Structure 1
Amino acid sequence: METLTVIREFLHDRLEVDPAAIQPETTLEELKIDSLLLVELIFECEEKFSVIFERDVPTPKNIGELITIVDTFIAEARTAKQG
């Protein structure tokens, strides 16, 4: 499953945001995502992608930055499993 799809589904379920309106350049502020909701979203990504974010996650400004953060953790987890 693609990271953007997981984010869109989560925000649609929680905030009733139209998934098509969630683009990489959409800011968290535009979506009214506070720190608590961001943590919930990160937990959702951990569950969906079977990874654990073991270090501090920088606060993204937009969905694109969030995707980059999540994809980085996914890649690191896959590399660790192979190594």
Structure 2
Amino acid sequence: MANSYDALVDLLVHRFDVDPAKITPQATFEDLEIDSLFMVELLLVVQAELGVELSDDAATPRDTIAKAAELISAHAAAAAS
């Protein structure tokens, strides 16, 4: 999960200008002021940048960053096998 977490943080900071000081594994997307429309855009960027295909409703603003990273890892592992 560490690689997925780091990649997600990198996307949030560099592509979406989220303050890195606010990003922790326990932070929710709501804590970062990310709404459901933003989540759809983020999931599209994850798909394009990380090659992990996720549905539009795979994560919600109430999910933590750690949970989203686990989701990315799980989908990446499933795609690799």
Q: How many residues align?
A: 78
**Separation of aligned partners in 1, 2:30 and 2:71:** 18
Aligned-residue offset at 1:54: 5.6
Q: Which runs of 5+ in 1 are unaligned?
A: none
Stretch deviating more after TM superposition (70-79 or 16-25): 16-25
Q: Percent identity?
A: 30
**1:69 matched to which residue of 2?**
71
Greater Rg over alpha carbons, structure: 1
Q: Name the amino acid aligned to 2:33.
A: K
* SS of equivalent residue, structure 2 residue 12: helix
**Separation of aligned partners in 2, 1:48 and 1:54:** 15
Matched, 1:9 2:21: no
Asked if the contact 1:7–1:41 (Cα under 8 Å) also holds between the matched residues in 2, the reply is no
CA RMSD of aligned residues (A): 2.4
TM-score (norm 2): 0.74
**Separation of aligned partners in 2, 1:55 and 1:33:** 14
**1:48 matched to which residue of 2?**
49
* SS of equivalent residue, structure 2 residue 67: helix
Q: Which runs of 5+ in 2 are unaligned?
A: none
* Residue deviations 1:9-48 (CA, integer Å, cap 9, x gap): 332232x322243111011111011111111111111112
Aligned-residue offset at 1:52: 1.9
* Residue deviations 1:53-80 (CA, integer Å, cap 9, x gap): 268525352111111111111011001x
Q: Name the amino acid aligned to 1:68.
A: E
**Separation of aligned partners in 2, 1:50 and 1:9:** 15
